[in-house]
Amino acid sequence: TVFEAIRRKQEEEGLAPWAPFDSEEDWDLARWLSKSGVSGGNINDFLKLKKIKAGARPSYHNTRAFFQKIDALPTGPQWECEVFDVIGDEKDEKGNWKIEEIELWKRDPLECIKELMGNAAFREKMCYSPRKVYRDELGNIREFDEMWTGDWWWELQELLPEGVTICPVILASDKTQLSKFSGDKQAWPVYLSVGNLSKETRRKPSQRATVLLGYI
């Protein structure tokens, strides 16, 4: 998996699992700071506390050093930017259709899928084969809930060789505004997940089971 490949590279370079941080405790503190929603200014104030400087002694002494450590962590699929022109529905003072330059930021969908499927955190939450679920002991009342409980998965699975699984790809576009840029420009994201993960897992933002595929 992607995560196993990252670990192998760390071992080849003689790095600990928590690199680039100095220790596991150093990594734990950084993880808490990054997930707690603390602002950059408050991180600075926290790291300047005498108790932290004299006791914990993290390897990062301010916000800049902290984020440099974060940026040095292994990353997922790389981003690419494609720039193209779009002809609008308004004309300029000369009667010509206005043209706007648009940026399309995107990642390789296959690499995003590999990252999700290979995520060790989902090891116990991933389903690789179809299942038939019944609500009664006699097996008379069939339950269709998760993707792998549907007949379509069974039908497709029978066409595949042994050891091969199906990976249903789920795409979603957020119709709400992502962020504001200059003027009235906005960015709209497209998200990706896989049907091998349960609905409960996919719906929890904290699980990070849905990844950003691209935005325009």
40-54, 89-103, 193-207: segment of lowest average pLDDT: 40-54
Question: In this prediction, what percent of the chain has a pLDDT beyond 70?
Answer: 93
**What is the band of 182 on the pLDDT scale with cuts at 50, 70, 90?**
very low
Residue with tokens 């809930």: 145
> What pLDDT score does 10 carry?
81
Supply the pLDDT for residue 213: 93
Report the pLDDT value the prediction gives residue 54, as an integer from 0 to 100.
78
Sequence ranges of the domains in the chain:
2-71, 80-128+165-215
User: Given this model, what pLDDT does residue 17 score?
Assistant: 84
Position of tokens 């720039």?
83
Mean pLDDT of 104-132: 91
Give the span between the Cα atoms of 57 and 28, in whole angstroms: 13
Burial class (CB in 10 A: 0-12, 13-18, 19+), 165: middle
What rounded mean pLDDT belongs to the chain?
85
- Dist CA 206 CA 193 (whole Å): 14
Contact 191, 212 (CB under 8 A): yes
Overall average pLDDT of the 149-156 stretch: 94
pTM over 0.85: no
C-beta separation of 104 from 82 below 8 A: yes
